[in-house]
Chain A
Amino acid sequence: MPLEVSYSKQAANYLKNLDAPTKRRVLEKVAEVSADYMDPRNSKPLEGSEKRSARVGKYRILLLAVKEKNALIVAEIASRGQVYRET
């Protein structure tokens, strides 16, 4: 059963200001994660299984799964740009 999605204030505001195609892609990604949040193709674990990250282009989406309440919280959406070689 898909988790019920809600958004932090930051994530909701950030999403509001995205252009329509990017917003649609983010919403699609969140829907995929809510359907099976432990599928590493959709999101990857950061700390334990509950704190996860997903990416849509240059945007990083932080997701918090609260399994006992059947909830998925979109904690943060932010532009992270690219990571470059550190050496």
Chain B
Amino acid sequence: MEMALAAATFIGTDAWNADLYGSLSISSRLSAAIKSSAAQLKIAGFFWKTNQKIESFLDRIDSAVRDAESAAAKGKSKNEPLDRVRVEKAVNQLLDLYLILDNVYQHCVRYRLNNFSRLAGGLSRLRRNADRVNELAMWLHDVLNPDFKDAFASAGAEFENGETVPASEVCR
């Protein structure tokens, strides 16, 4: 599937490894020393920088997915076969990144860094970015291991028969 391949192309590149893992190791080391106001500002800066880099990579991936999807919709798809090995590698790299981000977040929360107003925003942004990374990994995993065909077929049939439940009933 081309959308998955477009996403996988970005993951694991030299830029990805150097930028993301480089800044994360610095964040982890600094999270241990947080007594002074100056240290807090420094760590807040590193959180900001790390979040910016992750968001920039994730936005580029979303943009590649959107472009691949638009091209497919216009019939301009390249029809490249799905490279399972490449996508599996991307899933593993994303999961590694997720585990690192989750570890940094859990470590910081354990040391109650989230109680410092200068750091709380950056930390919760880090949590959201970790979730985005995990979401991306899960999506690629689902594309490789489709277990959803029956669910779509049955929902489509329910819709055709007028048996689906309107949102107004569910939201009550």
Contact = CB atoms under 8 A, between A and B. Distances in A.
Interface of A: 4-12, 15-16, 27, 30, 38-41, 44-49, 51, 53, 55, 57, 60, 62, 64, 66, 71, 73-76, 80, 82-87
A73 B163 CA distance: 11
B143 A8 contact: no
Nearest to A83: B141
21 contacts: A6-B159, A8-B155, A9-B164, A10-B154, A11-B155, A12-B170, A16-B170, A27-B170, A38-B69, A40-B65, A41-B62, A44-B136, A45-B3, A46-B142, A46-B148, A60-B142, A62-B151, A62-B155, A75-B156, A85-B95, A85-B96
Interface residues of B, number: 40
A71 B159 contact: yes
Please report whether the interface of chain B is mostly helix, strand, loop or mixed according to DSSP: helix
Nearest to B151: A76
A20 to B, nearest CB: 12
Contacts of B154: 8, 10, 75
B74 to A, nearest CB: 11
Contacts of A45: 1, 3, 65, 69
A76 B148 CA distance: 9
A30 B138 CA distance: 18
B88 A86 contact: yes
Given A64-B156, A75-B154, 7 more contacts: A6-B164, A7-B167, A7-B170, A38-B66, A44-B3, A73-B155, A87-B92
